[in-house]
């Protein structure tokens, strides 16, 4: 009997494997961190082989913990950090360089070069259009170093022999889902899903294809690119030597679209926020492709069929990463769990504001030259004030995105569904509710990202019947009701915006 769905959750700082049972409950979790590589300020890399070895280790460890064998696993679902770019040799299977991580800003100047380029639009190539506008209309994205296109181009231009090999058909590109699928199948499958493809800045999200014009702009041979499938689909089977026998791979999905699905946000207007290394707010918009004029992204939501559904997204680059900086960079505490008590031990931040723009600002500002900034320090500032200000910055950044999202969509919000490790911090969740003025709703199971990949794989494999059954698996939810008075909120937001202005455009200066 098939007892489990295995979700492989490959994140920015760690790999996890979670086994879910028929009731949608977590049976066991295995997790292991892997090194972050910072070659120079603003650059972030990962070792792709380290990611693969770590992910395989935790998959086997989760099976060991559960006492499970491969024949009891109905399917594997994969969810991954998006945009992070791997290029590898088709024959050897070895990466040609380290992976360039989504946070990396090394290609910001290349994106700037494209700002004033004028191109042609349409199959007939008849109408002049700014390339930035073409990218936005075609891919739904705001042109930025965040996405994969300029990262692929950089690897091809800066790795010895890479461009020649790529043009000879000897190199492959993939986001992390594709890299894992390639290794799990021992090179038999080179594929991705639409949600990940939509984050490359190369994919036409309306026509559902790699865009020829953008491949030409970034000089990327189409033969490097993976096949594109729905998020819930049969991607192949694992090599029998990995787990003892073959296991079907039945989903691949970018982490944020996975969390949206994991919350059972299946209808237009549903909103969730995931607090991970970054912070990602998504609103389901159904079959409507809504292009933002104020810095939000239009992306493809997860499905198990050929229907293309959309979501509006806002991205905060540093959420959990800011807490990790306090812990490992500044050594203000030993365990992130301590931050809740530290923040509650003081009445406020004593006027301190932290803007954690370590690798620039995401939506709705899109400033790759912003840098981390602390303002308002006086002699009375303590580490507790500093910790509280950093936690509050996560809530402020989320509100900045939500305000734009509600304005552009015309939707109203009854409550914000949240997930991710940081949501265990009760101070932050209460402050988030206060500063937004709407309830924050946290499920007992905060693993919505892994849950989404499991749900998609389970539906594809017939482990669960339909979306209604998935909704019935949702557990209890904790609600944080807003309590802050309007005057206090206005003052805090006014000073936050002052701090933001001081962080912007710093590196360019």
Convert the pLDDT of each residue in 260-298 to its tens digit: 999 898 988 888 998 888 888 999 989 988 888 888 999
Residue 217's pLDDT is what?
A: 93
Q: Residue 63 has what pLDDT?
A: 96
Query: What stretch of H or E contains 440?
Result: strand 440-443
The string of pLDDT tens digits covering residues 6-55 is 999 999 989 999 999 999 999 999 999 999 999 998 899 999 999 999 99
- Say how far residue 261 (Cα) sits from the centre of its chain: 14
Q: Find the mean pLDDT for residues 492-506.
A: 95
Rounded CA separation 412/430 (Å): 20
Task: Report whether 278 contacts 321 (CB < 8 A).
Answer: yes
pLDDT beyond 70 at 243: yes
Q: For CA atoms 212, 214, 218, 224, give the dihedral sign.
A: negative
What are phi and psi for residue 187, nearest 5 degrees? 80, 10
- What is the SS3 assignment for 393? helix
Give the DSSP H/E element, type plus range, for residue 8.
Answer: strand 4-10
Distances (CA, A) of 33 to 12, 16, 428: 9, 9, 24
Percentage of the chain modeled with pLDDT above 90 = 75
Q: Please give the residue that has the higher pLDDT: either 499 or 127.
A: 499
In 195-308, which ranges are E strands? 203-204, 209-210, 227-229, 232-237, 248-254, 271-275, 279-286, 297-301
Per-residue pLDDT tens over the stretch 404-448: 888 887 777 888 999 888 899 999 999 999 999 999 999 877 788
pLDDT digits (tens, 9 = 90+) for 68-122: 999 999 999 999 999 999 999 999 999 999 999 998 999 999 999 998 888 777 6
Residues contacting residue 90 through CB under 8 Å, at least 6 positions apart: 169, 170, 171, 172
Instruction: Say whether pLDDT at 509 is over 60.
Output: no
For 352: left if phi > 0, alpha if psi spans -120 to 50, otherwise beta; the answer is beta
Instruction: Supply the DSSP symbol for 71.
Output: G
**Helix, strand, or coil (residue 99):** strand
Q: Do the bridges between strand 4-10 and strand 14-20 make them parallel or antiparallel, or are there none, so unpaired?
A: antiparallel
Q: Which residue from 151, 167, 179, 182 is spatially nearest to 223, judged by alpha carbons?
A: 167
CA 481 from chain centre, in angstroms, equals 27
d(CA 32, CA 176): 16
Mean pLDDT of the residues in the chain: 92
């Amino acid at each position: 009997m098939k007892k489990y769905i295995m979700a492989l959750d490959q994140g920015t700082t760690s790999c996890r494997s979670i086994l879910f049972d028929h009731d949608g409950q977590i049976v066991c979790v295995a997790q292991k961190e892997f090194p972050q590589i910072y070659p120079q300020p603003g650059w972030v890399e990962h070792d792709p082989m380290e990611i693969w070895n770590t992910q395989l280790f935790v998959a086997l460890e989760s099976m060991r913990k559960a006492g499970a064998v491969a024949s009891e696993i109905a399917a594997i679902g994969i969810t991954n950090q998006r945009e992070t770019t791997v290029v590898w040799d088709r024959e050897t299977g070895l990466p040609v360089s380290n992976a360039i991580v989504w946070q990396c800003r090394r290609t910001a100047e290349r994106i700037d070069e494209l700002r004033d380029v004028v191109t042609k639009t349409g199959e007939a190539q008849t109408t002049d259009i700014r390339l930035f506008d073409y990218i936005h209309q075609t891919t739904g994205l705001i042109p930025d170093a965040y996405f994969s296109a300029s990262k692929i181009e950089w690897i091809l231009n800066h790795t010895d022999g890479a461009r020649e090999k790529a043009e000879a058909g000897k190199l492959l590109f993939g986001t992390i889902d594709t890299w894992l699928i390639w290794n799990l199948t021992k090179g038999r499958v080179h594929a991705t899903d639409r949600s990940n493809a939509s984050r490359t800045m190369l994919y036409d999200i309306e026509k559902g294809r790699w865009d020829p014009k953008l491949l030409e702009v970034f000089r990327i041979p189409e033969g490097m690119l993976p096949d594109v499938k729905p998020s819930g689909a049969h991607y192949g089977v694992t090599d029998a030597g990995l787990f003892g026998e073959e296991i079907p791979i039945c989903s691949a999905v970018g982490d944020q679209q996975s969390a949206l699905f994991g919350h059972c946000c299946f209808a237009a207007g549903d909103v969730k926020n995931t607090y991970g290394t970054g912070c990602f707010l998504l609103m389901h918009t159904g079959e409507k492709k809504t292009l933002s004029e104020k810095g939000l992204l239009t992306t493809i939501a997860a499905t198990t069929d050929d229907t293309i559904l959309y979501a509006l997204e806002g991205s905060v680059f540093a959420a959990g990463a800011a807490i990790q900086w306090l812990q490992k960079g500044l050594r203000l505490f030993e365990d992130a769990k301590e931050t809740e008590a530290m923040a509650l031990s003081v009445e406020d931040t004593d006027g301190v504001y932290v803007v954690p723009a370590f690798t620039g600002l995401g939506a709705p500002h899109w400033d790759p030259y912003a840098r981390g900034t602390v303002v308002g320090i006086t002699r009375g500032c303590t580490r507790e004030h500093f910790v509280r200000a950093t936690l509050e910055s996560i809530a402020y950044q989320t509100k900045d995105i939500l305000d734009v999202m509600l304005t552009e969509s015309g939707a109203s919000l009854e409550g914000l569904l949240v997930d991710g490790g940081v949501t265990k911090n009760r101070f932050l969740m209460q402050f988030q509710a206060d500063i937004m003025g709407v309830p924050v709703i946290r499920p007992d199971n905060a693993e919505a990202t892994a849950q989404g990949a499991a749900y998609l794989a389970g539906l594809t494999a017939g482990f669960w019947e339909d979306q209604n059954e998935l909704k019935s698996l949702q557990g209890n939810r904790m609600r944080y009701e807003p309590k802050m008075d309007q005057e206090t909120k206005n003052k805090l937001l006014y000073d936050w915006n002052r701090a933001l202005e001081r962080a912007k455009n710093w590196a360019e200066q």
